Structure 1
Amino acid sequence: MLSFEPYGNPTYFAILGVALIPLVIGLLYGRRSRLYETIISIFFLVLTFGGPKWTQGVALIVYISYEVLLTWGYAVYRKQKNSGPIFYLMVILAILPLTIVKVTPAVENGQNSLIGFLGISYLTFRAVQTMMETRDGTLKNFQIMTFLQFMLFFPTISSGPIDRYRRFEHDYRSVPDRDTYLGMIQKGVRYIFVGFLYKFILAYYFGQILLPRLLQMGMQARGGFLDLSWPVLGYMYVYSAYLFFDFAGYSLFAVGTSYLMGIATPMNFKQPWRSPNIKDFWNRWHITLSFWFRDFIYMRLVFWFMKHRVFKNPRTTANVTYIINMLVMGFWHGVTWYYITYGLFHGCALVINDAWLRYKKKHRESVPHNRFTQWFAIFLTANLVCFSFLIFSGFLNQLWFTN
C-alpha cells in the first residue's frame, strides 16, 4: 500500500492535483460536494496513516472517536447545565491522550507511545478550543458531522495551521462566489509554489547540506568556554533559517491546498523576521499556535488569577501568566530540558519586553525612535529568537552531554 508524508514528495502533489480537479470544477460552478470531499479526505488519510503506519491509523481512529464523543457529549450537557468542575474534567480528559504521548518518551527511555500518531497535538487543540467555546456560549450550534470534518480536514491534519471551528464551519457550509474563488485559486497556487521554494530548495539546502557540516565542526571545536565556537554560532543561524523555511513551506502547502478546496485556512507566518520585539514576533510566527495559546491559556489564566485575586498587581498577573503560558508551550514540544528552557526563555523575554515598552512609553522624550532604532530592534529581536532556536534544536544537549 502507498504511504506518504503529507506534502513530502512530488508524487504526493501529483495525486493531490488529480484528486482536487473535480472539487475545483464544482466550486467554479457554485457547487460543493461534501460527499466527494469526504471521499478524498479518507483517501489522503489512508495515504498518510496506511501501509507501514497502520498502527498510527488505528490510533487515529480510536482517538477521533474518543474526542468526537467527548466534545459532542459536553455540547449536549452544556445546553442544560454549566458546571465548572464538569468542564474542567472534560478538558482534562480531552488532553489526556496528548499528555500520555508527550510524557511517554521521557519515562520510557525515548520509546514513543502506542497511542501516538502524526498530528495528535493539532487535533487536540481543535477539540479543546471547541469545548471551551461551547462552554463560553460563543458556539451554540454544534454539529457532530461538521465537527468530524473539521477534525479530519486532511490538508492541515498533521501540523496545522490550527483553524477555529466556527470559521471552518462558515467556509464549509458555504460556496464562495466565482470571482472570490478564482482569487482563492490564484492565492492557493502561489502559496504552493512558494512552499516548493521554501521547503524543497531552501530548507533542503540549510537542513541537509549546511547543518550536518556545522554540527560536525561544532562538535570537533569543543573545548572552549561552554564548548561554544564559531561553528556553533553558524549552526544557530542556519538552524533558524532551516526551521523557518521548512515549517513555513509546509504551512503554505496546507493553506494553498485549503484555498483550492474553498476553505480559507488562516496563515501561519507573516514576515516574522521583521519583528521589532518579541511580542510582535509571536504575532507573526506560527500565528495559529501562538494565538491559540494566547486565547485559551494566557487570557483564561489572567481572568482566573484576577477573579480569585491571586496577585494584587495586574502586572504581576500578566508576568506570571506569560511564563506559565510559554512553559506550557515548551512542555508541549516535549519533556526535555531544552524544550522547557526554550519556553522559559520566551516567557521571560515577554516579561522584559513589556517592561521595556512601559519604560519607553513613560520616557518618550529620552528614548529616540527613528529608522536606526527600529532596525536595531529588529536585529536584536532576530538574534534573540535565533538563540532561542539554538536551545530548541537540542544541539546544546548533544554538544554538552555526549562524548
Structure 2
Amino acid sequence: MINLQPYENPQYFVYLVIALLPLIIGLYFGKRYKWYEALVSLAFIFLIFDADKWQQGVTLICYIVYQFLVTFAYQHYRKKTGKANKTWVFCLAVILAILPLVGVKIWPIVPHKQGIDFGFLGISYLTFKTVQVVMELRDGTIKQVDPVIYARFLLFFPTISSGPIDRYRRFVKDYDKAPSREDYIKDLSYAVRYLFQGFLYKFLLGWFFGTYCLPYLEQQAILAGRMYPLHLSWWLLGVMYCYSMYLFFDFAGYSLFAVSISYFMGIHTPMNFNKPFAAHNIKEFWNLWHMTLSSWFRDFIFMRFTFFAMKKRLIKNRNRLSQVTYLVNFMVMGVWHGLTWYYIVYGLYHALAIIINDIWLRFKKKHKLVKHNKFTEAVAIFVTFNVVCLSFLIFSGFLNNLWFNVPLGK
C-alpha cells in the first residue's frame, strides 16, 4: 500500500491531480459531484492512515462517531428546550468535545506501555471545528447541523491534518452549490497560483532554511554552548532567525497547498498567512500569522472569557481585564501545543508581549510621543520581527537541547 502524508512529496500531488480531474471538469460545467468529493476525501484520508498508521485511522473513526454523538445530542437538546436550555449542559457539551484532545495532550506525561497512542494526525484541528459548532449552536448563529455536510466538513481532506481552520457556516455556503463558470475559472487561477507559491515556500525556501542551513547552525550553537554554558553566541542568533524562516515557509507552504486544493474543489478555505513579518506590533502580527487559529482563539476563548468576566464582574478595570484575558488566551494556546516548559513559556511570552505593547500604545497616544513616518514604521517592524523570532526560538525546543542536553522532541 502507498503511505502518503499530505503535501510531503511530489508523488502525493500526482495522485491528487489525477483524482481531482473529474471533479474539476464537473465544476467547470456547473456541477458539483458531492458523492465523488466524498470518495476522494475518504481515499486520501485512507492513504494517510494505511500501513503502520492503521491504528490512528481506527482512532479517527471512533473520534468522528464520538463527536457526532456530542454535537447532535446537544443540537437535540437545544431544539427540545429552546431558550430554556441550561448553561451547564452547554459547558458539558464543550468539555466532552474537548476531552479527547485533552487526553491526547496529557497521555505522553502519564506512565503507559510503550507503543500505545490514542492520538492521530489532525485531532487538534478537528476539535477546533467541533467545539466551534457546539458554541455556535448555543449562540444561535448555527440553527441546524446537517449530518452529511458535518461529516464532509470534518473530513475535508485538504485541511484535515493541519488546517487552515474553516467555519461550518462558511463551508456550507460553498458546499451547497457549484460556482458559476466565470467564478470557477477565477478559482482555478488562484488555485494554480497558490499551488506554485506553496512549492516555492515549502520545497525550496523551507528546505533551504530547515534542511540545508538549520542543522549546521544548531550543531555550531551546541558546540559553542558546551564551551561557554549559557553564552548567547552568534550561532544561536543564527538558529533563531533560520528556524523562524523555516517555520514560516514550511507552514505557510503547507497552508497554501491546502487552500489551493480547496479552490480546485470549489471550496474557499480561508488563507492562513498574510505577510506576518511585516507587522508593526505583536498584536498586528497575530492578525497576520496563522490567521484561522488566531481568529478561533479570539472568538471562542478571548471573547468568551471577556464576556464571562464582565458578566460576573470579576475584574472591573477594562485594561486589567484585557491583560488577564491575554494571559488566559495564550496560556491555553501554549498548553495546546504541548505540556512542556518551552510551549508554556512561549504562550506566556506572547501574552506579556501583547500586554507591554498595549501599555506602550496607550502611553504613546496619551503623551503624543512619536509621529508616524517611514523611519518609525521600519523600527516598529524590526523590533516586532525580532520579538517574534525570539519566541520561535523558545517554541522550537532547541534551548531545551542546548541548556539541558535533551534531544529535541523529548
TM range (shorter): over 0.9
Work out which of the residue numbers 230, 233, 238 in structure 2 matches 1:234.
238
Cα separation, 2, equivalents of 1:110 and 1:250: 33
- Tell me which residue corresponds to 2:56: 56
- Tell me which residue corresponds to 1:83: 86
* Greater Cα offset, 72-81 or 156-165: 72-81
Structure 1 letter corresponding to 2:372: H
Describe the SS at the equivalent of 1:160.
Answer: coil
Quick one: structure 1 residues 110 and 84, their matched pair in 2 at CA, closer, same or farther if it must change by over 3 Å?
A: same
Shift of 1:357: 1.4
Shift of 1:73: 1.1
Shift of 1:225: 6.1
- Tell me which residue corresponds to 1:390: 393
Cα separation, 2, equivalents of 1:246 and 1:86: 41
- Tell me which residue corresponds to 2:402: 399
Structure 2 letter corresponding to 1:29: F
User: Are the aligned partners of 2:166 and 2:269 in contact in 1 as well (CA < 8 Å)?
Assistant: yes
Shift of 1:368: 2.2
- Tell me which residue corresponds to 1:277: 281
The superposition leaves residues 148-207 of structure 1 with CA deviations (integer Å, 9 ceiling, x where unpaired) of 110000000000000000000110001111111100000011101110011111111111
Mapping for residues 254-333 of structure 1, pairs under 5 Å: 254-333=258-337
* Greater Cα offset, 101-110 or 131-140: 101-110
- Tell me which residue corresponds to 2:97: 94
Describe the SS at the equivalent of 1:114.
Answer: coil
Structure 2 letter corresponding to 1:96: L
TM-score with structure 2 setting the length:
0.96
Mapping for residues 1-400 of structure 1, pairs under 5 Å: 1-81=1-81, 82-108=85-111, 114-222=117-225, 223-224=227-228, 226-364=230-368, 366-400=369-403
Shift of 1:221: 0.3
Cα separation, 2, equivalents of 1:267 and 1:333: 21
Structure 2 letter corresponding to 1:196: F
User: Are the aligned partners of 1:101 and 1:113 in contact in 2 as well (CA < 8 Å)?
Assistant: no
Shift of 1:80: 2.3
The superposition leaves residues 94-140 of structure 1 with CA deviations (integer Å, 9 ceiling, x where unpaired) of 11110111111123489676220000000000000000000000100
Shift of 1:297: 0.2
Shift of 1:240: 0.1
Identity of aligned residues (%): 57
User: Are the aligned partners of 2:214 and 2:242 in contact in 1 as well (CA < 8 Å)?
Assistant: yes
User: Are the aligned partners of 2:206 and 2:250 in contact in 1 as well (CA < 8 Å)?
Assistant: yes
Cα separation, 2, equivalents of 1:111 and 1:28: 50
Cα separation, 1, equivalents of 2:112 and 2:273: 34
Quick one: structure 1 residues 380 and 110, their matched pair in 2 at CA, closer, same or farther if it must change by over 3 Å?
A: farther
Structure 2 letter corresponding to 1:283: N
The superposition leaves residues 280-321 of structure 1 with CA deviations (integer Å, 9 ceiling, x where unpaired) of 000000000011000000000000000000011011111000
Shift of 1:361: 1.8
Cα separation, 2, equivalents of 1:308 and 1:126: 28
User: Are the aligned partners of 2:229 and 2:403 in contact in 1 as well (CA < 8 Å)?
Assistant: no
Structure 2 letter corresponding to 1:319: Q
Q: How many residues align?
A: 402
Cα separation, 2, equivalents of 1:177 and 1:171: 12
User: Are the aligned partners of 1:106 and 1:336 in contact in 2 as well (CA < 8 Å)?
Assistant: no
Quick one: structure 1 residues 161 and 112, their matched pair in 2 at CA, closer, same or farther if it must change by over 3 Å?
A: farther
Quick one: structure 1 residues 111 and 285, their matched pair in 2 at CA, closer, same or farther if it must change by over 3 Å?
A: farther
* Greater Cα offset, 104-113 or 347-356: 104-113
